[in-house]
Structure 1
């Protein structure tokens, strides 16, 4: 190649963007364009015509290998004088089959890597966009300016009951004609040149809320229409499931609250007998509704206590519990006390009037204790309230609506009173929706020791004492009939704590009527009265306990009972009487 040819080639290659270096077989630089000077930071005027080894020895050594071997070098990296990375390819130049030089095409690796980075970022963004579109729970349709479908995500396939391959490339008007959906929001967007929302019905009957948004190009013309679709059928189903879940959660929460409240109330009620446990369970069930409850039983059997438990376990527990002693109000005042009165209603009435018990209990529970003492006239007014939940204060004309749950109690036989005409039959049946009969204490003897421990703890704290009951004293109390029931027992324990001289209450400290109670069998529970083995065991235990209390030591008691000491000791231990002289009842 002549030098004239090389000169023409240099002029052509000077306009190239990439750096171009051409050396002959001796290493003399024939071509070194402007881009090569910029990248390598060598002045082309200084480099041309000189051996390139003077400027870049390492590069020239690599290029010599190309001259010798004829093998091109691809993707070789070098560094400029300022540290810039250069990326290039070196290829042998042939003339008539012989290598006459080497050409190297290179560029600033920083620029190359920037392009690669931008390409990678674009590819990554494209992949992320694909993942977002395909992962969307909402359906996405993309159509071009002619209404031709270009993209459909999986959610849209599910909503519309179509396959993307079937609809991509089709015009949306064709899909409407084919019955894929009843109308097209894309056509509406193209027609109105604005965003449109409407409800479509797919071919499988689903209702779908679709919103179409136009995408404008740089000239303000629609280039794409993007459709967002949401399955209303699925949303309705999810809403129903959510409501069911919330209802179930509320039910569970209510059940847990009721169980916790029931456990708390159970700890407040001292009971061990089966009959009282059944009554407690019944009270907790009826507490959950607003039905009338009629509590019947002897005076002092615990009707007021049970009424409080029912109120506390009910949904009205945050409201008031108002107790009315029907037998303690004069008949002339009972209507005014129950229903209230307006100012000046009668002589002696307060000028501002008075709120009655029914209104005081609004939102809560009204407990009518000894309801059998109500006069017949008031029974009629009570029945009227139970029927319409309205009260008319004395002196007023307009009724007032009251939200009150009524509990009633009586120690009298109301059914017998109905037959005698002393109690209204219709009121009796209205109150007696849920009847609960509390047995007297003498019919639940197994509760007595636990009640004793309960009251003993209360009055010890009240009086600042540490009194105890001997087992013999407890046995005496178990055999007593307690005509005053639990109230009498509580009063008795308080009396014993206050008056007994020592720290231990013995049978000698008990009132005479209790000390003189004749010995008799006292069955522990239902079904045990006629169980001979159980009756014998109870009798044996009571006899041993009395003997130990009477004689003070096991040896003396054994002699009195006619058994040897070891036999008595074994039996006392079996019945929990070991060391009976120091055994006491405590909570």
Structure 2
């Protein structure tokens, strides 16, 4: 027989429950079962409660009011606030146990101190907030599983850009995407279209820099032009920073009219900087730049570069039927290159090296001549057991050592590496690389 089962001939005993305050009384109001927590809030030992009448305890001021008589009278579950002799306020829940005649035979009550409930309430509220955050992240991660081939979002910078893109897809506001060539701007535009309410309509991408001024207006007219083709869908104005002043003026007039089109402008350079320099029309800038997404070059996205190297090798393996990998030295060397052409340049170099290699791994000598390191620049480390952050730290130190040999000042090093001069000084100190005697170093 289970020791907690309530039966008429059960012995009075302390129930072996350590974390709940539960008291069982019979219809006469006598306590027949308690837990080891039961006397804690009342300032008495739990065993001292056994056999006592709740009416007596109430008269003695141990607690007030008693829940048992109210449950017996109303024959239903009740919840009330009870005050103890020690001044605590308890939330008491009383539940009836009926006999065959539907009369209350036992009352089971359990209690919590009100302060404990406040703690539980705060915890539940914080849990609810956390769940909302997790739901949002899950929705975001689900949103990342999109059929836009080639876009890499492993770095913090590209993840922010992707998050912004998915958010902007919910609205029809014009948008400007900026970044160096080959960083995935067109892929971001396509992703926005695929997640928008216009996903079933046309996605038209126009190279603005290739349209002569003489036929610019005709190219965007409502009868056969780009506006007509993109009606109801998304129109991407690529290389908008290359438009002449005359073309900008014409585009501004065309866009001033209401059209059922989502506009996305793409630029390799800062439109705001062009506007401030007087090279881009202010009215057109403010018409397009309602939202803004910026993509950095691969130089500032090492996690994306690492992921892209693996992705391209997988694609080349499927394309040519032979799987190859990068030798450690080649892999480390590729991570430290500038990649001004970004993803396009990386893909080109990898494919050329892949076809040049005669082995199962692509080595330094398989790289195009202009991409091979000089003998004294080779990093020469093994990847086994190295994490990417540790690997990049080693590469950073080697790059700085090589740069210091070539350039006299930290200013020259900064210009060559594409970072600020204070960053160079800080990184040299970080890696304990000795400085020279010239005034800059």
Q: TM class, shorter-chain normalised?
A: 0.5 to 0.7
> Which of 232, 237, 255 is 1:363 aligned to?
232
Partner of 2:53: none
Residue-pair matches, total: 252
* Mapping 1:60-71, distance limit 5 Å: none
Partner of 2:170: 288
* Mapping 1:372-451, distance limit 5 Å: 372-389=241-258, 402-451=259-308
Q: Secondary structure at the match of 1:367?
A: strand
Query: What do residues 122-179 of structure 1 show as CA deviations (whole Å, max 9, x unaligned)?
Result: xxxxxxxxxxxxxxxxxxxxxxxxxxxxxxxxxxxxxxxxxxxxxxxxxxxxxxxxxx
Taking structure 1 as reference, are residues 540 and 304 closer, same or farther at Cα in structure 2, changes over 3 Å only?
closer
Query: What do residues 446-465 of structure 1 show as CA deviations (whole Å, max 9, x unaligned)?
Result: 21121011111222222222
Q: What's the offset of the Cα at 1:377? A: 3.0
Q: Which runs of 5+ in 2 are unaligned?
A: 1-136, 380-388, 399-441
* Mapping 1:149-168, distance limit 5 Å: none
Q: Secondary structure at the match of 1:280?
A: helix
Partner of 1:463: 320
The question of whether the paired residues in 1 share the 8 Å contact of 2:178 and 2:295 is answered with yes
Q: What's the offset of the Cα at 1:318? A: 0.9
Q: Which runs of 5+ in 1 are unaligned?
A: 1-254, 342-354, 390-401, 522-533, 544-587
The question of whether the paired residues in 2 share the 8 Å contact of 1:270 and 1:454 is answered with no
Q: State the alpha-carbon separation in 2 of the partners of residues 513 and 358 from structure 1.
A: 44
Query: What do residues 537-579 of structure 1 show as CA deviations (whole Å, max 9, x unaligned)?
Result: 8328998xxxxxxxxxxxxxxxxxxxxxxxxxxxxxxxxxxxx
Q: What's the offset of the Cα at 1:314? A: 1.1
> Which of 302, 315, 318 is 2:197 aligned to?
315
Q: State the alpha-carbon separation in 1 of the partners of residues 391 and 313 from structure 2.
A: 30
Q: State the alpha-carbon separation in 2 of the partners of residues 539 and 259 from structure 1.
A: 31
> Which of 334, 356, 376 is 1:499 aligned to?
356
> Which of 517, 531, 539 is 2:394 aligned to?
539
The question of whether the paired residues in 2 share the 8 Å contact of 1:298 and 1:411 is answered with yes
Query: What do residues 497-521 of structure 1 show as CA deviations (whole Å, max 9, x unaligned)?
Result: 2332222101111123332278599
Taking structure 1 as reference, are residues 256 and 483 closer, same or farther at Cα in structure 2, changes over 3 Å only?
closer
Partner of 2:214: 332
The question of whether the paired residues in 2 share the 8 Å contact of 1:301 and 1:438 is answered with yes
TM-score (norm 2): 0.52
The question of whether the paired residues in 2 share the 8 Å contact of 1:479 and 1:519 is answered with no
The question of whether the paired residues in 2 share the 8 Å contact of 1:324 and 1:367 is answered with yes
Higher relative contact order (CA 8 A, sep 6+): 2
State the superposition RMSD in angstroms.
3.0
Q: What's the offset of the Cα at 1:270? A: 1.9
Q: What's the offset of the Cα at 1:281? A: 0.5
Query: What do residues 15-68 of structure 1 show as CA deviations (whole Å, max 9, x unaligned)?
Result: xxxxxxxxxxxxxxxxxxxxxxxxxxxxxxxxxxxxxxxxxxxxxxxxxxxxxx
Q: State the alpha-carbon separation in 1 of the partners of residues 270 and 392 from structure 2.
A: 37
Q: What's the offset of the Cα at 1:309? A: 0.9
Taking structure 1 as reference, are residues 537 and 387 closer, same or farther at Cα in structure 2, changes over 3 Å only?
closer
Partner of 2:336: 479
The question of whether the paired residues in 2 share the 8 Å contact of 1:258 and 1:313 is answered with no
Partner of 1:489: 346
The question of whether the paired residues in 1 share the 8 Å contact of 2:176 and 2:293 is answered with yes
Q: Secondary structure at the match of 1:435?
A: strand
Q: State the alpha-carbon separation in 1 of the partners of residues 234 and 210 from structure 2.
A: 19
Q: State the alpha-carbon separation in 2 of the partners of residues 316 and 407 from structure 1.
A: 13
Partner of 1:270: 152
* Mapping 1:539-578, distance limit 5 Å: 539=394
TM-score (norm 1): 0.40
Whichever of the two has the greater Rg, that structure is 1
Taking structure 1 as reference, are residues 464 and 422 closer, same or farther at Cα in structure 2, changes over 3 Å only?
same
Q: What's the offset of the Cα at 1:340? A: 5.9
Q: State the alpha-carbon separation in 2 of the partners of residues 540 and 304 from structure 1.
A: 31
* Mapping 1:161-200, distance limit 5 Å: none
Q: State the alpha-carbon separation in 2 of the partners of residues 537 and 370 from structure 1.
A: 33
Query: What do residues 371-409 of structure 1 show as CA deviations (whole Å, max 9, x unaligned)?
Result: 1122323323322343322xxxxxxxxxxxx41100001
Q: State the alpha-carbon separation in 1 of the partners of residues 168 and 351 from structure 2.
A: 33
